[in-house]
Amino acid sequence: MPRLTEPDIIARVMRKLKQLGCPNVRPAERSPEWEAAKGSYTKTPDLIAGPLVGNGAAEDFFIDAFAPKGDQYAKPLAGAPTAAALIKKAIAEHGTFSVRDLGREYEPFYGPMNKKLEKYSGSRNGSPMLGLVMYFCISGNAYAGPIFALMHALAAVDDAFGLTQVPEPEKTVATMNTMFGPGHSIAIVVHRFPVQLSFLMVYADKIMDGANHEKALLLINSGVVHEDFGWSQHPVVRWLRNVAYAPIPGVS
C-alpha cells in the first residue's frame, strides 16, 4: 500500500468506523449537509456521526483524524531529538532498544491531539462529543518511521491517560499489544479520560508479506458511556456504550 493522501486516510477511517458500527458516520468537509448546517461555526471536522444540529452545537458528534509519519525519528528538528539520536546509534551499532528507551518526547502526538481538542471541544464549551483517530500506514519494505511512531504513540497515550494505572495492568498491556503481529484485530479499552474526548482510535494498516493486516485499538472514555452522561441517548454514545459493555463478536 503506497503512502496515502489525507482524503484516502479519512475514507479508510470512515470505513473502519462503519465496520465497527458507528452510526451514520459521514464526511463533513465540503459536504452539502455540513455547508447547510454549519451556520456561524467556522471549524470543520473530517467526519460527523449521528444527527447534525449544526452551528457548532455541543451535542453534535465530530470525528477528526491525523497520521503520525514518524519523521521525528530521522530528523531531530521534527520533535524528538533524543529518540532520533538513540535510533541513529542503534542502527550504526546494530544494537537494540525498547519503546520506553525512546523517552517521553511525545509532542509529535500530543501537539496534534491538543490542537484538535481545542479546535473541536474547546470551541464548543468543552463538549466531549468528539472522537479522534491516529492512523498509521506501515510497510515492511518502506521507511521505518511509522513503525516507531506506532509503538511510541501507544506509550504516549498510556502516559497521558494512565491506561495501565489500574489494578490489573497486565490485561491492558495485553490488549494494547494486539496492535503488533500479523492478522486483523480490534481491541477495546474503557478508561476514564483526563480530557474532553469520547474516544480515541489507534488504527494501523500493516503490510506484511504482501498482505494487508488491519489493527485497531478503540479507547473509550468511561465517563461518556456512564448512564448519567448528559447525552447518553445520542446514537454515537449508545454505540460506544454497546461496544464498551456488550462487545461485538471477535473483539477482545
Pick from 120-129, 133-142, 169-178: least confident: 133-142
Give the pLDDT confidence of 97-111 residue by residue, as tens digits.
667 777 778 888 999
Percent of the chain with pLDDT over 70: 88
Q: Is the pLDDT of residue 18 over 90?
A: yes
Q: Is the pLDDT of residue 197 over 70?
A: yes
Each domain of the chain, given as residue ranges in start order, spans 6-245
Q: What is the pTM of this model?
A: 0.90
pLDDT at 210: 67
pLDDT at 45: 98
Q: Three-state SS string across 75-140, please?
A: CHHHCCHHHHHHHHHHHHCCCCCCHHHHCCCCHHHHHHHHHHHHHHCHHHCCCCCEEEEEEEEEEC
Our measurement of the distance from residue 15's CA atom to the centroid of its chain's CA atoms, rounded to an integer in Å, reads 14
pLDDT at 146: 78
